[in-house]
A and B are shown apart, each in its own frame.
Chain A
Amino acid sequence: MRYLVLVGHDEKGGKALSPEQHQALFAAYQKYEADLKQAGVLLGGEPLKGSDQGVRISSQGGKRKLLDGPFSESKEIIGGYFVLEVKSRDEAVEWAARCPAAQLGVWSYVELREIQEIPR
């Protein structure tokens, strides 16, 4: 079973970190990634740049509508993701719970979603 671990956080919370805290967080992610790799469950993943560099695209009345970031109206944004391959949902939950974002307090969280296998 494949799972997507979505790392969500409040951008303001991230910006409030001191350089030392930033460094510690970076180290925690490195360790997390190393653990996932050593356990053989990591298939992929990347951090994402800030939402100020992002864009939302939709259509309105048949016309393309672009909304440049930052997306101030949404409190939380996706800051990165991991793709895991595990044997059970419980295992996925356990790995997701070990993600630094799940341990930092209210300004960050992890959302775990199972990847839908498309029957072809």
Chain B
Amino acid sequence: MSAPDTHSADQVGRVAGAIWRIESAKLIAVLARLLRSVDLAEELAQDAFVEALESWRKNGIPNNPGGWLMTAGRHRALDALRHTRRVERKHEQIEREQQGSLTADFDEASDGVIADDLLRLMFVACHPVLSQEGRVALTLRLLGGLTTVEIGRAFLVPEATVAQRITRAKRLLAEKEIAYELPQPADLRARLESVLEVIYLVFNEGYLASAGDDWIRPALCEDALRLGRTLSQLVPTESEVHALLSLMEIQASRAHARTGPNGEAVLLLDQDRSRWDTLLVRRGLEGLKHAESLIQRGPGPYLLQAAIAGCHARAAESRDTDWPRIAALYAALMHIAPSPVVELNRAVAAGMAFGPAIGLAIVDPLLDDPDLSDYPFLPSVRADLLAKLGRFAEAKTAVERAAALARNARERALFLQRAAEYERSGER
């Protein structure tokens, strides 16, 4: 134990905050197994944290603060269970028996047991009965260690809304009597998909938030990466888990390169690749290789997306990009997870690989797709292909259409600039 006077109250608070960030998910996960209630587990974990703060302010920070917190939490859970059982007036004999097994449950859990607890908590927080918003909020709160205030700021909603989503999600888990257990092997894939979806949603929320905004929004990328890394340790044999992590790491590697000096978006092919984060690129490509080695029944959607991201990551210059391979990967993705946006991306890749006429042949049928009727990048891609074919008048009309659909002034300005270029090229 450190001497009490060596820690100012503020220092204890900061250290305790760091401990909470490191330990809270494990603590809540272990308590949820013992108590069979996520709600009660979180409450008691917070109580234990308050107890820790008080004790550490008085006595100094212990050598093993994580273990201290876990023990305090277990004691609270044991008290709560004893109390419930007394209220239930169980026969004395039964109570004694149960307490035997109860204390066994409370013995120091091995690392393997804690890992299972964490995984169970992830599955429950991302349970398909919950709304997507509920899953995201619960996951960030229980597994990411974020406060309701932080989640609200990150998702641009009032704190009360987040609190409501969490309460509703917990109530739903209790009402539907969601068992606090790992999914059956038959359900594993589907349930895992829900977990991966939540993590990628958090990542994209952070990724789409432009730099210079509130720092907490881009920080969501880090939260998602962290959850993805944890999951890859807990479910080490699933290809899609490693694939999602690889995809996120490769995308995150471009974070610094995707905005210009005035905060404008810089498209992938125009980025200064020397600004990519080489550590994340390397990790992402290694993760991709590992995910590929784990493929069982054909590549999953995250693997294909990671492989596409990997093609870009491997190209030292944008002109070195392996477009035929990217076009093939998009075709494979269309096969297992079809969407008009994927098809549009396939058109871009095919246009780069095999010529603008081939790309245009893929784009044109999309003009009738209602899902893309307001999507500015459809006419934008079409304009680019038309211009490459020398059809400048049509290209100009298309990019003007894109400008009309633009979602912000900066985007619109870029489209109009292209319209002017096409007009000049057409006159030559």
Q: Please list the residues of chain A having a beta carbon within 8 angstroms of any beta carbon in chain B.
A: 31, 34, 37-44, 83, 85, 87-88, 90-91, 93-95, 98, 120
Q: Give B36-69 as 1s and 0s: 1 = Cβ < 8 Å from A's Cβ atoms.
A: 0000000000000000000000000000011000
Assess the B233–A37 pair: CB atoms within 8 A. Answer: yes
The verdict on B169 contacting chain A, using a C-beta distance below 8 Å, is no
Assess the A39–B18 pair: CB atoms within 8 A. Answer: no
Known pairs A85-B222, A94-B19; list 14 more (Cβ under 8 Å): A31-B111, A38-B118, A39-B230, A42-B229, A43-B283, A44-B279, A85-B226, A87-B21, A88-B14, A88-B21, A90-B15, A91-B21, A94-B65, A98-B66
The closest CB in chain A to the CB of B234 belongs to A38
List residues of chain B with CB within 8 A of the CB of A87: 21, 219, 222
Q: State which residues 210-254 of B face A: CB under 8 Å.
A: 219, 222, 225-230, 233-234
Q: State which residues 258-274 of B face A: CB under 8 Å.
A: 272, 274
In the bound complex, how far is the Cα of B256 from the Cα of A35, in angstroms?
29
3 shortest interchain CB distances as A-B pairs:
A40-B229, A40-B226, A90-B18
Q: State which residues 106-156 of B face A: CB under 8 Å.
A: 111, 115, 118
Instruction: Given A39-B230, A40-B226, decide whether A34 and B22 contact each other with a Cβ distance below 8 A.
Output: no
Assess the A40–B227 pair: CB atoms within 8 A. Answer: yes
List residues of chain B with CB within 8 A of the CB of A41: 226, 229
Assess the A38–B22 pair: CB atoms within 8 A. Answer: no
The verdict on B275 contacting chain A, using a C-beta distance below 8 Å, is yes
Assess the A95–B222 pair: CB atoms within 8 A. Answer: no
In the bound complex, how far is the Cα of B15 from the Cα of A93, in angstroms?
9
List residues of chain A with CB within 8 A of the CB of B256: 120
List residues of chain A with CB within 8 A of the CB of B222: 85, 87
In the bound complex, how far is the Cα of B226 from the Cα of A92, in angstroms?
15
Among A31, A40, A88, A120, contact of B18 (Cβ-Cβ < 8 Å): A88
Assess the B111–A40 pair: CB atoms within 8 A. Answer: no
| Cβ of A72 to closest chain B Cβ, rounded Å | 34
In the bound complex, how far is the Cα of B274 from the Cα of A59, in angstroms?
30
